[in-house]
Amino acid sequence: MLSPTPSDAVAVPEEKLEFVSSCKLPMPWATFELHAFYDQISGKEHLALTLGDIGNGEPVLSRVHSECLTGDALFSQRCDCGAQLEAALKKIAKEGRGVLFYLRQEGRGIGLLNKVRAYHLQDHGADTVEANERLGFAADLRRYTICLPMLEHLHITSLRLMTNNPRKVNALKESGIEIAERIPLIVNRNPFNIAYLGTKARKLGHLIPALDKAETVEKVPPAAHDNE
């Protein structure tokens, strides 16, 4: 298990992940290696997709992606998740080296059914943070320490992380992981998610440049109900 440096005051929760197996996964852009892990605490399965020589000590181009079934698998335009997943995999394939962690913490950790409940509230005017709070959840319940045993298994010590979320960067740093670089991942800005992205920038601190504030009052345009 990677541990924080002695100067870090933050307590890092102990994660219990068991490596299960790995296999080749041919994708449209490259053939990745898929590594499967079982999370003994949550009972979830987490995945790491790797390409190239990632264990040689050089910082690794990486994406820590939280599950979004609606965006990743069902093409939802409410968020930017599916486009970020594809863009990250393409970037890794282009470099020929990198890792994508696919963490099964759907809906920022509240689960798929509660995310649909939150979307229902958003259809009726709440923003993404208010909806979580009305359901009795914090805005973001994710744990990035899940990555620690996977990083150790893969012999990765330093990341070039593709994200717009400074909380993710800080949480990983506080876990003792070196973040050599943050690489912005700005994709799929569309009429259905522009306000949602605005809320992420205003309330969750995401670094999403050049959002027009006037457009970013979160309301799903009526057509989104037909389209999703």
Ligand X SMILES: Nc1nc2c(ncn2[C@@H]2O[C@H](COP(=O)(O)OP(=O)(O)OP(=O)(O)O)[C@@H](O)[C@H]2O)c(=O)[nH]1
Catalytic residues: 140, 142
Identity of the residue, 34 or 183, whose beta carbon is nearer to ligand X in the bound complex: 183
* By the rule CB under 6 A, 172 interacts with ligand X: no
* By the rule CB under 5 A, 224 interacts with Zn ion: no
Query: Which of 68, 89, 146, 177 forms a contact with Zn ion (CB under 5 A)?
Result: 68
Considering the complex, what minimum distance in angstroms separates the CB of residue 38 from Zn ion? Answer: 24
Query: Which of 30, 48, 54, 81 forms a contact with Zn ion (CB under 5 A)?
Result: 81
* 115 touches, from Zn ion, ligand X, none (C-beta below 5 to 8 Å by class): ligand X
* By the rule CB under 5 A, 79 interacts with Zn ion: yes
Binding site per annotation, positions for Zn(2+)? 68, 79, 81
Q: Is the dihedral of CA 158, 47, 208, 188 positive or negative?
A: positive
Q: Which stretch binds ligand X (CB under 6 A): 33-41, 89-97, 107-115, 150-158?
A: 107-115
Query: Which of 49, 61, 79, 93 forms a contact with ligand X (CB under 6 A)?
Result: 79
* By the rule CB under 6 A, 106 interacts with ligand X: yes
Binding site per annotation, positions for GTP? 63-67, 84, 106-108, 128, 163, 168
* By the rule CB under 5 A, 49 interacts with Zn ion: no
Considering the complex, what minimum distance in angstroms separates the CB of residue 114 from ligand X? Answer: 7
Considering the complex, what minimum distance in angstroms separates the CB of residue 108 from ligand X? Answer: 4
CB 210 within 8 A of CB 190: no
* By the rule CB under 5 A, 197 interacts with Zn ion: no
* By the rule CB under 5 A, 109 interacts with Zn ion: no
Q: Transcribe the chain into DSSP letters.
A: -----TT--SPPPPP-EEEEEEEEEE-SS-EEEEEEEEETTT--EEEEEEES-TTSSS-EEEEEEE--IIIIIS--SSSSHHHHHHHHHHHHHHHT-EEEEEE--GGGGT-HHHHHHHHHHHHTT--HHHHHHHTT--S----GGGHHHHHHHHT--EEEEE-S-HHHHHHHHHTT-EEEEEE-------TTTHHHHHHHHHHS----TT--GGG-S----THHHHH-
Take residue 91 and report the two structure tokens written for it. Answer: 């970037």
